[in-house]
Structure 1
Amino acid sequence: MIKTAIAALLLVAGGAQAQSHLDRIAQSKTLTVCTTGDYKPYTFLRGDGQYEGIDVDMAQSLAQSLGAQVKWVPTTWKTLSPDFLAKQCDIALGGVSVTLKRQQIAWFATPLGVDGKIPLVRCADKKKYQTLAQLNQPEVRLVEPAGGTNEAFVHSHLPKASLTLFHDNVTIFQQLVDNKADVMITDASEALFQQKYFPALCAVNPEKPMQYGEKAYMLPRDDISWKLYVDQWLHLSTATGEYQQILDRWLAPAKQGY
């Protein structure tokens, strides 16, 4: 049975090599990357048309390891999966959460960290929104970006709360500051990052997420050689300290304008 499984894996790998992303990238000198560009500190599309953030720097590192240039493919959280398939991206990144639904259409590279859903609220209201029971009330005004795992969490765990879907994942935090909404459920990493830029906002219990989560890069599931390459690149990036240096650069105290 084990020999049969190994033989099957080798057969898949051999078949994938004929159209390997590694071969295509080597020939075209282009790494095609899907990203939303609206999720600080992982990916952000600036007004001048340039991307920046943790995963943007990592994408540049991956491209450099292949002697290639990055070709950015804009997407949204609502259309991430279909865009990833239709636009034939080599990788999708930018704070992407691992989900079984996404796993159905893609592979994930080795996760880079553990994350989870927590409330982001006005600091004066922290005690009001500690538990799911407190949040799951009709008078609680939730605001979330359309699509993605934040909206999915609300539908699954907070069906009684009042939900407004917001068009912009960059300016959405001002809705909380301006008292146009009470709570945004988001990943602990984003909540901790944004509270540095909005002193009126506080992450609630970031060390105890309401739902376990991981961040990882999405990869085409028809190419085992490409996944093995990306996983090895990630391993070396972590072992050499490159990834930590990138994290330190973006998670340092707030920079003006970001």
Structure 2
Amino acid sequence: MKNKFFLLMLVLVIGVLAACGAKENKDNSANSNADGTTEQKQVLKVGTSADYAPFEYVDAAKGEDIIGFDIDLIKLVGEKIGVDMQVQDMDFNSLVPALQAGKIDVVISGMTPNPEREQVVDFTDKYNETEQVIIVKKESDIKKEADLAGKKIGVQTASIQENLGNNIAKKVDATVEGRTRIPEIIQDMMSKRLDAGVLEGGVAKGYLKTNDKLAAFPVEEQPEDFKAIAVPKGSDLKDKINKALKELADEGKIQELEEKWLEKVE
């Protein structure tokens, strides 16, 4: 009886192992190349701050996915270099520290290189240039930078607009207040906790379209402002992404994305 029981158990075990082996072979064949070898596509974690329409944002009326110019661009870059780009939302001021800590592999978030950032991460070639504007309520008496004297200016913390706002504030004797997310600046303007905000032109355009109580005008001294993709210091991703960006520009793909997503403030 013991021998028969042992043989029965052995047959069952062999059957289970055979079934598992067949399933594994089936799964592997789905990822097999023509020469019989298998290859698993690399996944890169991409950090962005999804409060920066039209570059990266969530349109709640259409779903929960992060969309925008930067998102379309980084996916095209991923196709060029043969990886899957996995995008995750983070606060803007945590993006560079997360990249340094290895929690993410790439940052694309309307980010402008500056000396502080360039000390700790590498940037690719630029992929977009833009203008900076001051956004205000139409009913306000703020029509130019000089009118900001004694006013409160909202900026996104750790952004190029924060530096620009500080420069304007020194010039006209105004106060600068930082906010984590762009919508907070707009909300606090509408509730009169802020008098104005410094935003990128393309971002401001989106708010002007949806809120007829807002107006905007360009800052007087436009800094050289362009966007680039951030990668860890010394990473070979920089050269790979630069090659992809050049190819996409030569193919007219970046221009197509600009026509799809971006407009200047009129």
- The answer to whether the aligner puts 1:55 opposite 2:70 as a matched pair is yes
Cα deviation for residue 185 of structure 1 reads: 1.0
- List runs of 5+ in structure 2 lacking aligned partners: 1-38
Cα deviation for residue 167 of structure 1 reads: 4.3
Within-5 A mapping of 1:197-236: 197-205=210-218, 209-223=221-235, 225-236=236-247
Counterpart CA distance in 1 for 2:256 and 2:163 is: 32
Give the conservation status (yes or no) of the 8 Å contact 2:46–2:87. Answer: yes
Cα deviation for residue 114 of structure 1 reads: 2.4
Within-5 A mapping of 1:28-177: 29-47=42-60, 48-125=63-140, 128-131=142-145, 133-135=146-148, 137-138=149-150, 140-159=151-170, 160-177=173-190
With the length of structure 1 as denominator, give the TM-score of the two structures.
0.75
Counterpart CA distance in 2 for 1:49 and 1:67 is: 26
Aligned-pair Cα RMSD in Å? 2.6
Give the conservation status (yes or no) of the 8 Å contact 1:107–1:220. Answer: yes
Higher-Rg member (1/2): 2
Q: Which moved more, 1:40-49 or 1:225-234?
A: 40-49
Counterpart CA distance in 1 for 2:175 and 2:225 is: 24
Cα deviation for residue 233 of structure 1 reads: 0.9
**Cα gap change, 1:34/1:189 in structure 2, threshold over 3 Å: closer, same or farther?**
same
Give the conservation status (yes or no) of the 8 Å contact 2:46–2:104. Answer: yes
Give the conservation status (yes or no) of the 8 Å contact 1:119–1:186. Answer: yes
Sequence identity percentage: 18
Give the conservation status (yes or no) of the 8 Å contact 2:121–2:232. Answer: yes
Give the conservation status (yes or no) of the 8 Å contact 2:130–2:225. Answer: yes
Counterpart CA distance in 1 for 2:180 and 2:114 is: 22
**What amino acid maps onto 1:239 in structure 2?**
D
Which structure 1 residue ranges, 4+ long, deviate > 6 Å from structure 2?
none
- The answer to whether the aligner puts 1:242 opposite 2:253 as a matched pair is yes
Cα deviation for residue 163 of structure 1 reads: 3.4
Give the conservation status (yes or no) of the 8 Å contact 1:117–1:209. Answer: no
Give the conservation status (yes or no) of the 8 Å contact 2:41–2:82. Answer: no
Give the length in aligned residue pairs: 222
